[in-house]
Structure 1
Amino acid sequence: MKKLSISEYKVEGKVKISEFKSFEDFDAYKKELEKELEDTREKLGDLQDTLYAHGKYAVLVCLQGMDTAGKDSLIREVFKDFNARGVVVHSFKVPTELEKNHDYLWRHYIALPARGKFGVFNRTHYENVLVTRVHPNYILGEKLPAIHSVSDIDETFWDKRFEQINNFEKTIAQNGTLIFKFFLNLSKEEQKNRLIRRLDKPNKRWKFSPGDLVERKLWDTYMNCYEDILNRTSHPHAPWYAIPADNKPAARLIVASILLEELQKYEDIKEPKLDEDVKARIQEFKETLRGE
């Protein structure tokens, strides 16, 4: 199996999505990739226990990608060995009326992971410079005082929104949240194949929506927006990783490997030291319990 190098996927400098790979297999069979993932996620699970006991960092995992990119199954497979109390997944859908009565980042702030926990955003705050940019009429529903029509939404508006998102991430990073952002780079051809498979399988048809075909026609517009996102918001404290998503087992392995390798660099993430008095009396405590 070919060695995985996480630096290959990190977004640094000016990038073009057309130059990213959408498929990877590491010259390995599916079973080999799944076994490697199993080993990696077991180590991740152990690390999560230590992170929880340490209690000073939170980890935010952001997943973005076109429909059928594999976000749901990636979450299921990568975090399978986590203690349930240590990871919380949020899937952000169309904003509710309550959410629309706050600024667009509010629902993301209140969903942030607590110290010691992993938080996974399945679709993220970047929808606010992605879907709303492709469909600017959605902005009208945010009840912004200076926006009365789509014509009021100019480039200055988007520049400010990018600045706000960068400030949001900078603030939480400075306060102990470790941020990982993954763009699942799915090819248009593979999306077509996955949509057809959904329609072919009766138990998967509920996932299909005619709106998927409408959005598919806007593929190039979405890619342009994603490219802008990657170029304007990938920073050392909140990096983007472009993950080839056409092969799901490989995509899951890459994401798990990046999380493990990067988190292992934080040498201060350790289990708290046992109180010296308690440590000295361990044998006494054991004998007390055995004598009950």
Structure 2
Amino acid sequence: MKHIHTKDYLVREGEDVNLKKRPTSVDPVYGSKSDYNDILATHIEKLSALQQLHYASSRHAVLLIFQAMDAAGKDGAIRHVMSGVNPQGCQVYSFKHPSATELEHDFLWRTTRDLPERGRIGIFTRSYYEEVLIVRVHHEILLSEDIPDHSGHDDDLWHGRYRSIVDMERHLHANGTLVVKFFLHLSKEEQRRRFLARIDQPDKNWKVTSADIEERKFWKQYRKAYEDCLSATSTDGSPWYAVPADDKENARLIISQIVVDTLEGIGMSYPEVTAKRALELKSIREGLVT
């Protein structure tokens, strides 16, 4: 097993991101399919134990955010990486087009309601970042949000949203929520291959629509939006990782290693047994053995 250098994929605070210079494919950290399964199983076993400790200590919350172009493998990564985590301690939310009620509030409102509690892991597949990504590419969406005094073409609006996001994530970090963000960096050619595979496999036909193909026309605009977003919102406390996603298995191993490292870095411990608690446990034990 090769060592996974997760910092190779870290977007450093203040970095001017150029996605053309970041690879969508790297040498795999696994040697074979069997090797991949063994490494992933090891990561899952570690995650299971760490999640149990995280739930028991209940001092921090962890929020994992996944953003990517269509067919980059967000759902598959979540399904495989988090397969060993107790559902009681993990919450997954997918954010699509906002409802009429959600549009009546600020752009952070609907996701804030679903932030994880202490001791739990929250997963957002798409998130409040859509508000500086798809909304930036498709200005007509912004018009439905009825933002006062903005036409939707003002860069100040996007910079203001970046500031709001960074401020919120710093607030969360200061209050015990660790935010880790994954951008699954997929090439346009690999996306094309995956769309064709979905068309050719009947059980995956439902995964591709004509709207997906239309969005490919905006590839350059999305790339620019992602570059600006990652540059403006990756911080030491709430970092972005640009994970090469052309190889799904490799991406899953990189992501799982980052999640393991994040949980190990919290410095968790099981709750201390106080003298009062020890007496309570003694009384419970006596009641069970009599």
TM-score, scaled to structure 1: 0.94
* CA distance in structure 1 between the aligned counterparts of 2:185 and 2:80, rounded to whole angstroms: 18
1:288 aligned partner: 287
Q: CA deviation at 1:90?
A: 0.6
Q: Deviations over 1:4-24 (max 9, x none)?
A: 111111111223111112123
Q: CA deviation at 1:41?
A: 1.6
Q: CA deviation at 1:281?
A: 7.1
* CA distance in structure 1 between the aligned counterparts of 2:277 and 2:215, rounded to whole angstroms: 61
Q: Which amino acid aligns with 2:100?
A: E
The answer as to 2:77 corresponding to 1:74 is yes
Is the 8 Å Cα contact of residues 61 and 121 (structure 2) preserved in structure 1? yes
Is the 8 Å Cα contact of residues 33 and 249 (structure 1) preserved in structure 2? yes
2:211 aligned partner: 211
Q: Deviations over 1:178-208 (max 9, x none)?
A: 0100000011111001000110111111111
The answer as to 2:277 corresponding to 1:275 is no
* CA distance in structure 2 between the aligned counterparts of 1:285 and 1:65, rounded to whole angstroms: 51
1:16 aligned partner: 18
Q: Secondary structure at the match of 1:80?
A: coil
* CA distance in structure 2 between the aligned counterparts of 1:89 and 1:170, rounded to whole angstroms: 22
Determine which of 33, 42, 49 is the counterpart of 1:46: 49
Q: Secondary structure at the match of 2:11?
A: coil
Determine which of 105, 126, 144 is the counterpart of 2:147: 144
The answer as to 2:39 corresponding to 1:36 is yes
The answer as to 2:191 corresponding to 1:158 is no
- Paired residues for 1:188-227 under 5 Å: 188-227=188-227
1:96 aligned partner: 99
1:118 aligned partner: 121
Identical aligned residues as a percent: 39
Q: Which amino acid aligns with 2:247?
A: N
* CA distance in structure 2 between the aligned counterparts of 1:280 and 1:132, rounded to whole angstroms: 58
* CA distance in structure 2 between the aligned counterparts of 1:109 and 1:284, rounded to whole angstroms: 42
1:265 aligned partner: 265
Is the 8 Å Cα contact of residues 62 and 121 (structure 1) preserved in structure 2? yes
* CA distance in structure 2 between the aligned counterparts of 1:30 and 1:47, rounded to whole angstroms: 26
Q: Deviations over 1:78-128 (max 9, x none)?
A: 111111110100100000111101111001110100111100000011110
Is the 8 Å Cα contact of residues 30 and 250 (structure 2) preserved in structure 1? no
* CA distance in structure 1 between the aligned counterparts of 2:222 and 2:100, rounded to whole angstroms: 26
TM-score, scaled to structure 2: 0.94
Q: Which amino acid aligns with 2:205?
A: R
Provide structure 1 residue ranges, at least 5 long, that are not aligned to the other structure: none
The answer as to 2:183 corresponding to 1:183 is yes
Q: Which amino acid aligns with 1:219?
A: W
Change in Cα spacing, 1:278 to 1:161, as seen in structure 2 (3 Å) is closer
Is the 8 Å Cα contact of residues 62 and 124 (structure 1) preserved in structure 2? yes
Q: CA deviation at 1:34?
A: 2.1
Q: Which amino acid aligns with 1:30?
A: K
**10-19 or 251-260, larger mean C-alpha shift:** 10-19
Is the 8 Å Cα contact of residues 34 and 249 (structure 1) preserved in structure 2? no
Q: Secondary structure at the match of 1:181?
A: strand
Q: CA deviation at 1:278?
A: 4.2
* CA distance in structure 1 between the aligned counterparts of 2:238 and 2:23, rounded to whole angstroms: 22
Q: Which amino acid aligns with 1:208?
A: V
Q: Secondary structure at the match of 1:82?
A: coil
Q: Which amino acid aligns with 1:41?
A: I
Q: CA deviation at 1:145?
A: 2.2
